[in-house]
Chain A
């Protein structure tokens, strides 16, 4: 592998890790927000 192959691999892996982590944070935030919104809606319906 040439120098640019190693550079591409390093930058590619770093980008993948950062995008992956950002995506995981967004997914978890969405999940808990939805959960809390639904709980609030149910509470409102009951009262």
Chain B
């Protein structure tokens, strides 16, 4: 697993370097928003990666509740933490993009509020895990939050269709953006997903070590 993590780490670094070059140098500025639209190459991949991370939490949580296997709980725990990092990046970059585009750093728009709630749900998920001493019980409680939290992803993603929002529609839909902007976006998305897989493997390894230390302390 360590070898795979190293390969993913190097791959993510290379893809991020290519993505940076494509997004900041090669891609043309947007016809309406101008240069500031380049924030999209970080903002969109980070929220899509967060969605992926929380989908993994959902699947692993269901599997843990059904089978009770520790490895599913480790996967859910690790993925939730990495997902929170990517959601934080989404909120920060979105806010910075909002100021020159909308004139405000923040507005209580349905998409923005949904994303903020998503961040809080999974921060709560991690806090819940840390306050319950018994690992299996913490895993079961967290799994319920991990499953329920997923509904906010559906709400957040669909918010731009269900409500009149200030936030623009999804950039990933067919024909939503020019192909000259789409390729750099896809490369950056690939880079972020590879980076997520790398961080996920490292975080799972950390959970395994934490459990070994706990067993050592309790056994000693």
Contacts and interface: CB of A to CB of B under 8 A. Distances in A.
B210 A10 contact: no
B39 interface: yes
A6 B92 CA distance: 11
B39 A10 contact: yes
28 contacts: A1-B100, A3-B35, A3-B36, A3-B100, A6-B36, A6-B99, A7-B24, A7-B35, A7-B38, A10-B43, A10-B93, A10-B97, A13-B89, A14-B42, A14-B92, A14-B93, A17-B85, A17-B88, A18-B195, A25-B202, A26-B202, A29-B205, A32-B206, A32-B213, A33-B209, A36-B209, A36-B212, A36-B216
A10 B35 contact: no
Contacts of A28: 206
- Chain A contact residues, majority secondary structure: helix
Q: How big is chain B's contact interface, by range?
A: 20 to 34
Contacts, number: 74
Nearest to B41: A11
Contacts of B39: 6-7, 10-11
Contacts of A4: 35
Top 7 A-B pairs, shortest CB-CB distance: A3-B35, A32-B209, A3-B36, A10-B96, A10-B93, A10-B39, A14-B42
Given A7-B38, A32-B213, 19 more contacts: A3-B34, A3-B100, A6-B97, A6-B99, A7-B36, A10-B92, A10-B93, A10-B96, A13-B96, A14-B89, A17-B88, A17-B89, A18-B89, A18-B195, A25-B202, A29-B202, A32-B210, A33-B209, A39-B220
B95 to A, nearest CB: 9
A19 B97 CA distance: 21
